[in-house]
Amino acid sequence: MHLPTHAWEQELLSLHTRLAPLFHHPGPQQRSLAYLRGLLSDVERKNGWQLAEWIGERTPDGVQHLLERAHWDVDIARDILRDYVTEHLGDEHGVLIVDETGFIKKGTHSAGVQRQYSGTAGRVENSQIGVFLCYAGQGGHAFIDRALYLPRQWTMIGPAVKLPAFLTPSPLPLNPNSPGRCGNAHSRPGCLVAG
């Protein structure tokens, strides 16, 4: 999809019209649009500080509030984005790509962190592993889904595990018929499930 800048802005506004109802107040609605613009910008490191500065805010508090505390359903947002991608980029020769990425961590308190092989580092490191589903076709490519890989230790709940006091969801669904996953009754034509 190669569009002039003003056409990209119109497409972004069209997409945001679908996402805006997820945010129940005008502030988070406006910040979510600014955040999306920041993600699509040339900001080198797209973290809370960098994006807040790009948006024109003095601190990352607003961006962090949007991502951590504002009330919206990330899974519905994912579904809206997936539908948008399939409508605008989908073609019969498109493919789904599953890949994992390691996020090197210094501490032990981030969910899923442990010493494990990280392709990013090319060796065993203290890291988190993210699993990503992407679509690629003649019209372009885009992320479709994401999940945090949770090692077995992180799925055991109890004081013996010595984990922070929050409930951790079970590992990635292995059943391709899980709701919202590729392979269920609502999946798009040409959707392939590996495994």
- % of the chain exceeding 90 in pLDDT: 64
Is 188 within a domain? no
| CA distance linking residue 63 with residue 51, whole number of Å | 8
Would the pLDDT of 114 be above 70?
yes
Is 12 within a domain? yes
Dump the DSSP string for 27-67. Answer: HHHHHHHHHHHHHTS--SS-SHHHHHHHHT-SSSHHHHHHH
Higher pLDDT, 1 or 15: 15
Could you tell me the pLDDT band of residue 146, with boundaries at 50, 70 and 90? very high
Q: 92-122: b or e for each residue (b if 16 or more CB lie within 10 Å)?
A: eebebeeeeebbebeeeeeebbbeeebeeee
| CA distance linking residue 106 with residue 97, whole number of Å | 29
Could you tell me the pLDDT band of residue 158, with boundaries at 50, 70 and 90? low
pLDDT (0 to 100) of residue 164: 54
Is 130 within a domain? yes
Encoded tokens for 146:
């994401």
Is 18 within a domain? yes
Is 144 within a domain? yes
pLDDT (0 to 100) of residue 159: 55
Is 178 within a domain? no
Total tally of structural domains belonging to the chain: 2
What is the pTM (predicted TM-score) of this model? 0.70
Element (H, E) at 104: strand 95-104
| Amino acid symbol at 112 | G
Domain hosting 49: range is 5-68
- Say whether both 58 and 100 belong to one domain: no
Tens digits of residue pLDDT in 74-98: 999 999 999 999 999 989 999 999 9
Is 186 within a domain? no
Is 171 within a domain? no
- Say whether both 104 and 59 belong to one domain: no
